[in-house]
Amino acid sequence: MDKEQILAMSALELGQAIRDKKTTSVEATAAMLASISEKDPKYNCYITVFEEAAMAEARAVQDKIDAGELTSPLAGVPVAIKDNMCTKDRPTTCGSKILSNFIPPYSATMVHKLEEAGAVIVGKLNMDEFAMGSTTETSYYGVTKNPWDVTRVPGGSSGGAAAAVAAGEAFYTFGSDTGGSIRQPCSFCGVSGIKPTYGTVSRYGLVAYASSLDQIGPMGRDILDCAAALNIVMGKDPKDQTTTDSVPIDLEEARTFDVKGLRIGIPRDYFGEGIDPDVKARVLAASAALASMGASVEEFRMPIVEYAVPTYYIIACAEACSNLSRYDGIKYGFRAENTEDLMDVYFKSRSEGFGLEVKRRIMLGNFVLSSGYYDAYYKKALQAKALIKKSFDEAFEKYDLILGPAAPTTALRIGESLSDPLKMYLGDIYTVLVNIVGLPAATIPCGQDSMGMPVGLQLIGAHNAEQTIINTAAAYQRATDFHRQKPKNEV
- Show which residues are catalytic: 82, 157, 181
Interatomic CA distance for residues 69 and 61, integer angstroms: 9
- Cα 474 to chain centroid, rounded: 19
Q: List all residues 6 or more positions away from 451 whose beta carbon is below 8 Å from its beta carbon.
A: 149, 410
Element (H, E) at 319: helix 308-323
Interatomic CA distance for residues 461 and 440, integer angstroms: 6
Element (H, E) at 292: helix 277-292
CA distances 396 to 221, 401, 460, 461, Å, are 29, 7, 10, 8
Residues 36 and 80: beta-carbon distance below 8 Å: no
> Is the Cα torsion angle 477, 480, 484, 486 positive or negative in sign?
negative
Residue among 467, 490, 478 nearest 222 (CA): 478
The residue type found at 436 is: I
**What residues are paired with 296 via a beta bridge?**
263
Phi, psi of 401 (to 5 degrees): -145, 155
Interatomic CA distance for residues 407 and 276, integer angstroms: 9
Residue 207: CB atoms within 10 Å: 26
Residues 87 and 107: beta-carbon distance below 8 Å: yes
**What residues are paired with 405 via a beta bridge?**
457
